[in-house]
Structures are given as C-alpha cells and as structure tokens.
Structure 1
C-alpha cells in the first residue's frame, strides 16, 4: 500500500490546524477538568479537538477507514482485530501542559496500516507549526500555513542531547542520564520530544513509564521518515499497533540512531 504526500499532506495539515483552532478557542475560556480512569485529565478542549478529527478524517483517504481516538478508545478488540488500516489520534497530547499555560501540547494524527504507523501529523496549536512524516519516505516541517515545507533529517549529536518529559521523569530515566557522559538534557511536553529528534536537535527520548498507542503513532512515522527509530526498549524492534486488546505501549526509545553516543550508557545501565 502506497501513499502520496500530495494527496494526504494538505488535507491532514488543514485538519490538524482546525483541531488546534478548536483547542485555542477554548483555552481562553474557563475550563472544567475531570479525571479519566487512568487519572489523566480531560477538558472541553480535548473533546472539541476530538470531535473535529472524527468528523473530518472520514473525508480524507478512504471513508471506510475507522478512527480510534484517545477520547473514544473503548472500541472492543473483537471489532478492532479486523482493522487493517485505520486512523489513530490523540486530539490533545499534553493536556497537563495545556492546563499550566505552556504551549507544549499537540494534535496527533496517525494512519496505521498492518500494525505500523505509515503516516504521521503533529500540529502545535499555539504556534501553527506542523510536522509531517511518512515512514520510509521522508518527513517535513512547516512553520506556518504560508511558509515552505522543510525536509527533516535526524543527526547524531556530540555530546548527546536527551529529551524528557517534565512530568514523567522516573528513577530509571534519572539513572540513564547519570550513565551518559556529558549528556545534555531538555524538558519538553507531548510529542514535541520526538519532533526535536526528527529535526536533528536531539538524540534520544527514553520512556520507561506507561504510554498508550495514540501517544506514539504519529511521532513514530515522523521520526522514522526523518531517518530515526522508535523501538521497544527490550528487543529494539519498532513499535507496532493494534496487536491485542491492550492499547498500552511497552517501554520504548525514540532516537536518531540506535548506535548513538548514548548507547554505551544505556547498555551499562541495562547490564547493572
């Protein structure tokens, strides 16, 4: 199955910006927040972006491709198991960043085909930036609607730069930072950590704690399109999607290169 940048990039970019506009229109209003079953917050902005995406995606690609969103993730495995191609979206990735007034939240749209993320779009609502990737074909960045697309390429940095979450830096991440000589550390929210790797501005994003499939799919297509990798932390194989009833990811690593300068620190930590 092949996909054309011309046929998918423009409508997906427009849709990601539309969903971002929905988020921004609500961010200036009083927000009520409730906690989901996993204790993560959800707001009216999450739900408005969700509605925009689930209404807009059937008009892009093939209408029969179903949509799985973080805000409608209760589709039974008996149904999902029959999906070969589908949209996987996180309408507002980084709700905690959004609530604290940061601009580090994104709209994530991925196209999954035969368990792999083949197309990814990440939009940054506050700034209008877009990252777009097709695994194996390339990734691009657009600063704004009227600006040209720029091709992305990962880079192996010396000293290595590691990107981490502001809210999810666990003990194993701290140990890894200590194990990599001269490492630089940058805190970023949402999928912007993977965008930094695709841009050639960071080497490694390790995640040992729980994430869900909509957290990584769009980012994986963009990182892979830029020449990097997003792999499981145990066997170094690419993350796959819709393989079973659970929608949780295993621990993973997003990186510019699996043989980067950070790897010796990782191997030392892993053998300790």
Structure 2
C-alpha cells in the first residue's frame, strides 16, 4: 500500500496542500511587513524577524500534521538548533521568508518557499509572494502554474531566448560585475531583484537568466528550482549538471538559472 505522500503526489493533492500552506504562511507574514517590528541578528549576522519564525512554525505544523513521517529541514530551525548531519531519501526544504533584508527595508520581493526533495532533486515546489498575492508552483502531472490568491491556476513556461536577453541578478553585485555576468549568458540587459522571485520570473517567460556566484543555502533555491524546471528551464552548477540537494551543510556553490 502506498504511503500518503506518494498518493498525494500522484493525485495532485500535495501540490494543492503546499500552495495553501504557503499562502497561509503569507497571511502570517503580511502584518509584519512595513510595520517596523524588531529585527534580530542570527549567528552569521543575517537578519531574522518574528515573521520568519512564526511563518516557519506554521509551515512545520501543517506539514507534520499531513506527513508526519517526512523529515523537514527549515532555515530558522536549522540556524537555531544546528543543521542535520544527514537527510532521508525524501525531505522538505523550507525557507519561510526568503529576502528578509528586503522585507525589513519594506521592499516587495520576499517569498515563502516549500520544496519536496526526492533523492537529491527538488520534485515539487511552491513559491509565494505575500506582497503581491502571487503563487507559483510545479503543477500536478507536469508543467508549472501561477495564480493570484483566490484565483484559478494558469500555466506558465519559459520563453525562447530573444536576441536581446534579460538577466536577473542579486542586489549584492556591483554594476560592473552585473554587466559581466549578464553578458556571459547572452543578456544585454539586467535587473536587480531579491529572493527566489528570480526563478519564478524566468519561469513566467519574463526574463532569461539568473547567474549567481555568491553562496546560497539549499532552502533559498529548492522551491524556485522546482518551479523553473517544471516550466522548462534549468538550474546548473559549474559542471553543467543540475543543482543538487542534501549536500554537506546545505550550501550551494555558483549556479545559473536559465529559461529557454
């Protein structure tokens, strides 16, 4: 007899559950946005807020109630209690609020991220943007979808690379570095954007590449990678192979996310 997670993957119920949970977490986060709440510093000096912690607690509670047998690796829990030394064949990767720096500054580009990892690949993922009420997901049966909260899902896919390609880059890079990175991947234009939103905008066919040279954590990228790959894109490391998960320390090296 198949376990519940396997049944829910096959039926599409998992995809619905994850989208609903991400949007419920978004409702927890929004009251803190632009409200001037206290910001705490983690061990690595990166910021964390009550919004991060409360959203993560909700996500973990919902997932545990539905799938108690599935291991969860979540950003704030891992930072507070230590990262697990090993992971199961299937596990969750959760970033309850990606783009906290921008969130604290009142920007819109922060996201809720939940992904299922099977083996070393993200197979189901959802990204939700509370400030704009939009959610993207890998779709049941294949492909990718997006919706505005409360609306129906619509299909999305990457675009064919235009002659004048556009790149998305982290705000942390200099203008000189941005031009160099964009041109390396055939893009003549670039725009700075926070969080995993970059993967989703490429999945929608609005941009073409997101090269990243600085370090990221696996929970920063897993859900976005699942969405982008489902939309026909790729997320590749320096060896030209797809970015994998469950690595020691859950640390990513350089990568590029690309559309068509």
Q: TM-score, normalised by structure 2?
A: 0.89
CA distance in 1, matches of 2:196, 2:221: 7
Q: Give 1:182 deviation, angstroms.
A: 6.4
CA distance in 2, matches of 1:135, 1:166: 33
Q: Deviations over 1:92-116 (max 9, x none)?
A: 0000111111111000000011111
CA distance in 1, matches of 2:170, 2:11: 31
1:148 to 141, 145, 152: 152
Q: Give 1:128 deviation, angstroms.
A: 1.6
Equivalent residue for 1:41? 47
Q: Helix, strand or coil for the counterpart of 2:163?
A: coil
CA distance in 2, matches of 1:132, 1:123: 9
Q: Deviations over 1:115-168 (max 9, x none)?
A: 1100010001122210001599211010221x2211111012221110112234
Runs of 4 or more above 6 Å deviation: none
How is 1:116-265 mapped onto 2 (pairs within 5 angstroms)?
116-133=121-138, 137-145=142-150, 147-155=151-159, 156-169=161-174, 172-178=177-183, 183-232=188-237, 234-244=238-248, 246-257=249-260
Q: Deviations over 1:34-65 (max 9, x none)?
A: 222222111111111111111111233x3200
How many residues in Structure 1 have an aligned counterpart in Structure 2? 250
Q: Deviations over 1:178-231 (max 9, x none)?
A: 556661212211111110110011110000001000010001100000000011
1:10–1:169 distance in 2 versus 1, CA, 3 Å:
farther
Is the contact between residue 139 and residue 145 of structure 2 (CA under 8 Å) also seen in structure 1?
Answer: no
1:27–1:172 distance in 2 versus 1, CA, 3 Å:
closer
CA distance in 2, matches of 1:240, 1:9: 21
Q: Deviations over 1:217-248 (max 9, x none)?
A: 0011000000000110x11101111133x211
Is 1:103 aligned with 2:111? no
Equivalent residue for 1:50? 56
Is the contact between residue 34 and residue 106 of structure 2 (CA under 8 Å) also seen in structure 1?
Answer: no
1:119–1:199 distance in 2 versus 1, CA, 3 Å:
same
Is the contact between residue 163 and residue 186 of structure 1 (CA under 8 Å) also seen in structure 2?
Answer: yes
Is 1:75 aligned with 2:83? yes
Is the contact between residue 91 and residue 108 of structure 1 (CA under 8 Å) also seen in structure 2?
Answer: yes
Equivalent residue for 2:3? none
Q: Gaps (5+ residues) in structure 2?
A: 1-5
Q: TM-score, normalised by structure 1?
A: 0.85
1:127–1:30 distance in 2 versus 1, CA, 3 Å:
same
1:5–1:103 distance in 2 versus 1, CA, 3 Å:
farther
Q: Give 1:91 deviation, angstroms.
A: 0.4
CA distance in 2, matches of 1:55, 1:45: 15
